[in-house]
A = this chain, B = another copy of it.
Amino acid sequence: MFSKACEYGIRASVFIAEQSLLDRKVSLKDVAEAIESPAAYTSKILQRLSKSNIINSDKGPTGGFSMDKSELEKVKLSSIVYAIDGDNIYNGCGLGLKKCNADKPCPVHNQFKVIRDELKKMLETTSVKTLAIDFEKGLTFLRR
């Protein structure tokens, strides 16, 4: 479905969001431990999220990663997925054809369109904030 990088990206975002709700900045190490991911690789992913203005990163002592509490509910899963995996999930053909649309559809174009549209809607309506709140309550998990 998503690349491993994107999976780490979503998990990291949920963790950073949750900690931000508690007014805590987190270090790369914190993130990697919380989501059980390779630290150096996670660093690259956080860089992308930072450049896409999804998370903040501050250097130096007392630095770390964070998200603005006030903007947290505006951040949807779709932004994270787009920042890391681009738009292949939405626009790419399910059978890998370069040109595939209603005019010249692949054999499963219509069947896939239904699924994709649902996936898209889900990603666009699910905010990181609600995921962070459930995680904070101990209802969901980011490792194992």
> Interface residue count for A (Cβ, 8 Å)?
40
* Interface 1/0 per residue, A110-144 and B, CB below 8 Å: 01001100110010001000010011000111111
- Which residues 56-79 in A have Cβ within 8 Å of B in the complex? 77
Question: Measured between alpha carbons, how far is A93 from B56 in the docked complex, in Å?
Answer: 27
Contact residues in B for A140 (Cβ distance below 8 Å): 105-107, 109
Interface membership of chain A positions 69-97, coded 1 if the CB is closer than 8 angstroms to chain B and 0 otherwise:
00000000100000000000100101111
Interface membership of A25, Cβ < 8 A: no
Residue of B nearest to A14 (CB): B107
Across the interface, A118 reaches (CB within 8 A) one of B4, B115, B141, namely B115
Query: CB < 8 Å: which of B4, B108, B109, B134 contacts A96?
Result: B4
A98 and B144 contacting across the interface, CB-CB below 8 Å: yes
Residues of B within 8 A of A95 (CB): 7, 10-11, 142
Could you tell me if A94 and B134 are in contact, using CB atoms closer than 8 angstroms?
A: no
Name which residue of chain B comes closest to A132, CB basis. B107
Chain B residue with minimal CB distance to A144? B99
> Is A22 interfacial (CB 8 A cutoff)?
no
Is A41 interfacial (CB 8 A cutoff)? no
A77 nearest in chain B by CB position: B108
Complex-state Cα separation, A104 to B118, whole angstroms: 24
- Candidate in A1, A10, A114, A141 with the most chain B CB atoms within 10 angstroms: A1
